[in-house]
Structure 1
Amino acid sequence: MFRCKTVILALLLVGTMLSFSTQASAETKATAVFAGGCFWCMQPAFDKVPGVLDTVVGYTGGTTANPTYEQVGTGTTGHFEAIKVEYDPEKVTYKTLLDVFWHNIDPFDTKGQFCDVGSTYRSAIFYENPSQEKLAIASKKEVEQRFKQSAATKILKANQFWAAEDYHQDYYTKNPVRYKFYRYRCGRDARLKDVWGSEYQHAK
Structure 2
Amino acid sequence: ERRKELIVTVPKRKLLGSHGLDDESSLKVGTTLQLNSNSSNGGGGGLQVLVTAVDEDTVTVDANPPLAGASYKCDATILAIDSVPSPTTTPPSSKYQVATFALGCFWGVELACTRLPGVVGTKAGYTQGLTVAPTYQQVSSGKTRHREAVFVVYNSEEVSYSELVDLALERLAITTPTTMFSNLFEEEDDSYQYSHGFYYHSESQRQIALSKLDKNNRFRVEVRAATTFYDAEEEHQQYLLKGGQSARKGAKESIRCFG
Q: Which amino acid aligns with 2:110?
A: Q
Q: How does 1:164-175 map to 2 (within 5 A)?
A: 164-175=232-243
Alignment partner of 2:199: what SS? strand
Please name the residue that 2:206 is paired with: 133
Alignment partner of 1:31: what SS? strand
Q: Does 1:54 align with 2:121?
A: yes
Please name the residue that 1:64 is paired with: 131
C-alpha distance in 1, partners of 2:83/2:206?
27
Q: How many residues are paired up?
A: 154
Please name the residue that 1:184 is paired with: none
Cα distance, 1:201 vs structure 2: 7.3
Q: Does 1:85 align with 2:162?
A: no
Higher helix share: 1
Q: How does 1:14-163 map to 2 (within 5 A)?
A: 27-105=94-172, 106=176, 117=189, 118-144=191-217, 151-163=219-231
Cα distance, 1:28 vs structure 2: 1.4
CA contact under 8 A between 1:64 and 1:77: conserved in structure 2?
A: yes
Q: Percent identity?
A: 31
Per-residue displacement from partner, 1:100-149 (whole Å, max 9, x unpaired)?
A: 0000013859x9xx9994221011100111000000000101102xxxx5
C-alpha distance in 1, partners of 2:167/2:178?
16
Q: Structure 1 length normalisation: TM-score? A: 0.68
Q: Which amino acid aligns with 2:220?
A: A
Please name the residue that 2:60 is paired with: none
The alpha-carbon distance between structure 1 residues 159 and 22, as it changes in their structure 2 partners (threshold 3 A), is closer
Alignment partner of 1:81: what SS? strand
Cα distance, 1:89 vs structure 2: 0.3
CA contact under 8 A between 1:95 and 1:135: conserved in structure 2?
A: yes
C-alpha distance in 1, partners of 2:178/2:145?
20
Q: Which runs of 5+ in 1 are unaligned?
A: 1-20, 178-199
The alpha-carbon distance between structure 1 residues 159 and 138, as it changes in their structure 2 partners (threshold 3 A), is same
CA contact under 8 A between 1:108 and 1:153: conserved in structure 2?
A: no
Cα distance, 1:59 vs structure 2: 0.1
The alpha-carbon distance between structure 1 residues 124 and 107, as it changes in their structure 2 partners (threshold 3 A), is farther
Cα distance, 1:69 vs structure 2: 0.4
The alpha-carbon distance between structure 1 residues 22 and 98, as it changes in their structure 2 partners (threshold 3 A), is closer
Alignment partner of 2:193: what SS? helix
Q: Which runs of 5+ in 2 are unaligned?
A: 1-81, 85-90, 246-251
CA contact under 8 A between 1:69 and 1:164: conserved in structure 2?
A: yes
**RCO higher in 1 or 2 (8 Å CA, sep ≥ 6)?**
1
